[in-house]
Amino acid sequence: MKNIKELIIVGAGIAGVSAAVYAKRSGLDFLIFEPSAVGGQLLSMQAIDNYVGLGLEAKASQMAENLAQTLKDLDIHPVNEKVAKISHQDEILNIDTDKGIYQAKVVIAATGASFTRLGLEQEAEFTGKGISYCAVCDGFFFKGKDVAVVGGGNTAVEEALYLSQIARKVTLVHRRDKLRALEYLQKQLLAKDNVEIIYNSIVVKPQGQQFLESVLIEDVLTKNKRRLDLNGLFIAIGISPATEVFKELVSLDDKGFIITDEEMKSSLDLIWACGDCRRRPLKQLITAASEGAVAAISVYKYLKGYYISV
């Protein structure tokens, strides 16, 4: 068995990297695990215009590179292994990866989440070029333009409401004959002049040259297809946190997100969480970065014995 680390951070998206920066600066003995490249969801994003300090013209790929460089500069080298299982014996966590076994006093979960895809051909190619999974992230790019939202739950209706303040027109495309969203959200949506709802329909094909220009939608009853011209397509059919290895250890909410307090501590003292795998009011790069910092410093205080809950 290797030596027991004070901390293992699982995931090197922006939350994990921020945690690593603060852990390093605190002098903690830690590792960070990341089976793929540093950057997490940044790797599939394009522009970033809402991360204060970076200006309005930042590129996601550059930010991902910047995070990787920051780790390098701080002599932090991500362990390229996938965590398969975590268990705990007394006050020590055992972490099994696809390549080895590790032990740590504390784990910070920074494993992120992934949006459910529609599964369309070219969905990936158009992501960041018209297709988005987050209205608060990308809505502003479509100011005065036409967008559609796919889905019928609370998130889809919230996204449509949010976009109705920014876009010229919002079309909500839902595969069933009624929405699942809460009644009062539906009422608000129906009161909007610039929102149209198309029921019993699915998006079958995104179309466009470099950027999205239209989608083909199909009526699921008649099988008729028609073209809907638009600039943006927001897909809001679900999000899955990558919390599989934590689910036996800590309390999750009904969607699988890790529940923590404001210091990022989960229901088990040994597991802390930050970023998209955590239940939180706002999923953004800036909130993930902040939570990574809070998690690391809170863990530091916890390990050093002067943790005082706010």
Work out how close the CB of 19 gets to a second copy at its nearest, in angstroms, rounded to a whole number: 9
What would the x/- binding string for a second copy be over residues 100 to 139, using CB under 8 A? Answer: ------------------------------------x--x
Encoding tokens for residue 298? 């809170």
Residues 6+ apart with CB under 8 A from 30: 5, 6, 7, 8, 9, 20, 23, 24, 104
The Cα angle at residue 17 between residues 300 and 99, in degrees rounded to 5: 95
Work out how close the CB of 52 gets to a second copy at its nearest, in angstroms, rounded to a whole number: 4
Kind and range of the H or E element at 132? strand 131-132
Encoding tokens for residue 148? 């559609």
Binding of a second copy by 184 (CB under 8 A): yes
Binding of a second copy by 27 (CB under 8 A): yes
Q: Is 109 helix (H, G, I), strand (E, B) or coil?
A: strand
Work out how close the CB of 100 gets to a second copy at its nearest, in angstroms, rounded to a whole number: 27
What letter would DSSP give residue 41?
Answer: G
Catalytic entry in 29, 137, 254, 269? 137
Q: Smaller CB distance to a second copy: residue 1 or 308?
A: 308
Q: Which stretch binds a second copy (CB under 8 A): 65-73, 111-119, 193-201, 216-224?
A: 65-73
- Helix 285-304, helix 14-25: angle, nearest 10: 40
CA 23, distance to chain mean position in Å, is: 22
Sign of CA dihedral 60, 64, 69, 71: positive
The reply to whether 134 belongs to the active site is yes
Among 35, 47, 51, 103, binds a second copy (CB under 8 A): 51
What letter would DSSP give residue 117?
Answer: P
Length of the chain: 310
Question: What end-to-end distance do the CA atoms of the chain give, in Å?
Answer: 36
Binding of a second copy by 183 (CB under 8 A): no
Binding of a second copy by 14 (CB under 8 A): yes
Binding of a second copy by 80 (CB under 8 A): no
Q: Smaller CB distance to a second copy: residue 10 or 28?
A: 28
Q: Smaller CB distance to a second copy: residue 12 or 271?
A: 12
Q: Smaller CB distance to a second copy: residue 25 or 247?
A: 25
What letter would DSSP give residue 182?
Answer: -
Please, are residues 123 and 117 in contact by the beta-carbon 8 Å criterion? yes
From the CA atom positions of the chain, what is the Rg in Å? 21
Q: How many CA atoms lie within 13 A of 205 on its CB side?
A: 7
Among 34, 159, 263, 276, binds a second copy (CB under 8 A): 263
The reply to whether 138 belongs to the active site is yes
What would the x/- binding string for a second copy be over residues 217 to 256, using CB under 8 A? Answer: ----------------------------------------
So which residues are the catalytic ones? 134, 137-138
Q: Which residues bind a second copy (CB under 8 A)?
A: 14, 17-18, 21-22, 25-27, 50-56, 58, 63, 66-67, 69-70, 73-74, 136, 139-140, 154, 158, 161-162, 165-166, 184-185, 188, 262-263, 279-282, 284-287, 289-294, 297-298, 300-301, 304-306, 308, 310
